Amino acid sequence: MMRILKLTAENRQNILQNLLKRSPNQYTEYEERVAAILNAVRQEGDAAVFRYTKMFDRADLNAENVRVTEAEFEEAYASLEDPNFLNIIREASANIRAYHEKQRKYSWFDSTPDGTLLGQKVTPLAKVGVYVPGGKAVLSSSVLMNIIPAKVAGVDEIIMLTPPGPDGKISPYSLVAAKEAGADAVYKVGGAQAIAALAYGTQSIPKVDKIVGPGNIYVALAKKAVYGNVGIDSIAGPSEVLVLADETANPKFVAADLLSQAEHDELASAILITTSEELAQKVSEETERFLGILSRSETIRKSLDNYGYILVADSMDEAIETANDIASEHLEIVTKNPFEVMMKIRNVGAIFLGEYSSEPLGDYFAGPDHILPTNGTAKFFSALSVDDFIKKSSIIYYSKEALAPVADKVIGFAEAEKLTAHANSIRVRFE
């Protein structure tokens, strides 16, 4: 049974502290190991990448087989167990592409009659590295969610890295997704060594301008360490869902949605905040019933024991305030009027409204990106988007006639800051 707590100020603080333990920033004991991997790859290139891949993934790689070949892509298409998967991937891709195309930014220019032209030039990044986790689940959905926004933005070269199995192969589902999304190259490398290869470049793997995509604690800390040498999207932690519900919610649906996040891993968080004690009890009972039939019940149970909560609030306003404090990756609003509640939500990665908009819909198919801020970072980070794959450069043009009436003002500003060379740069133009 999931634990049921009365929502109090003390409980809220304790839960926030508990959830923050999952942040990559708390795992400082791994930083030295990650730094050693980064330094080795920086100095040795391929040799270090292949050594760590043998050590961690038990796969033998070399310069000839580290990159996925066209023959391997063809083999992946031929070996799909579910022949309908390709159609599903293509339909999901179309939805994701259509959504992200609405985010596209364009250069703009604004001129005035007095001889000025100001503007903003939007330029896609030249080369982007996409990291896709392997390990406990084959995340072909993450392939689409990382690559398609980059393609829509117009990135010149998209390079995907993902860990191989001990046989040196990558899941055919991931390879098919990569080909359908438009990856320019796929390499069989995972972990911190993959991030290092993308950040510094090796003999086989090119250096990129930005690295995006989630991963385990080693990947998260590696991204944090290489930031500045390359750009990154954000530092992702374990997955999480928060459900805001009142007495109108279906307890079976709510329980199923909580468990769908808890199955990710033992650090995943699943929280229900409700104004109904009856719903809280029924959801707890339903979770127990589902645990008897779900395949990943052991992982789910550990996740719920560590980071699963049902909180009973006195009012919806109190529930909303707590949701804004937690700033969850995913938020489901299952109330009588979910749109009214949504207007009061400030901090969240993605919002799902109503009882038929469950979180897995966003994971796979609806279109919005599922690479989202976690661990409270939704207070200042956004979902991955086309914006992550562009740069904005400002453009300034003044004619002599336009500069003349403001020259003294610029000179005055510069002299107030004691920057006489700045002032001189304007003054010489009118001597």
- Contacts (Cβ under 8 Å, ≥6 apart) of 417: none
Where does 246-389 show beta strands of DSSP type E? 269-274, 308-312, 330-334, 350-353
Is 329 part of the annotated catalytic residue set? Answer: yes
Is 180 part of the annotated catalytic residue set? Answer: no
What is the C-alpha separation between 176 and 183, in angstroms, rounded?
A: 10
Sheet containing 108-112, strands listed edge to edge, beginning at the edge strand earlier in sequence: 108-112, 116-124, 390-398
Q: Which helix (H) or strand (E) holds 58?
A: none
CA 114 to chain centre: 45
CA 335 to chain centre: 27
- Contacts (Cβ under 8 Å, ≥6 apart) of 340: none
Q: Which of 180, 240, 286, 329 is catalytic?
A: 329
What is the C-alpha separation between 227 and 239, in angstroms, rounded?
A: 22
Q: Identify which of 258, 252, 239, 257 has the alpha carbon closest to the alpha carbon of residue 309.
A: 258
Q: Which of 100, 264, 330, 370 is catalytic?
A: 330
Burial 180-208 (b: 16+ CB within 10 A, else e): bbbbeebbbbbbbbbbbbbbbebebbeeb
What is the C-alpha separation between 265 and 213, in angstroms, rounded?
A: 17
Catalytic residue annotation: 329-330
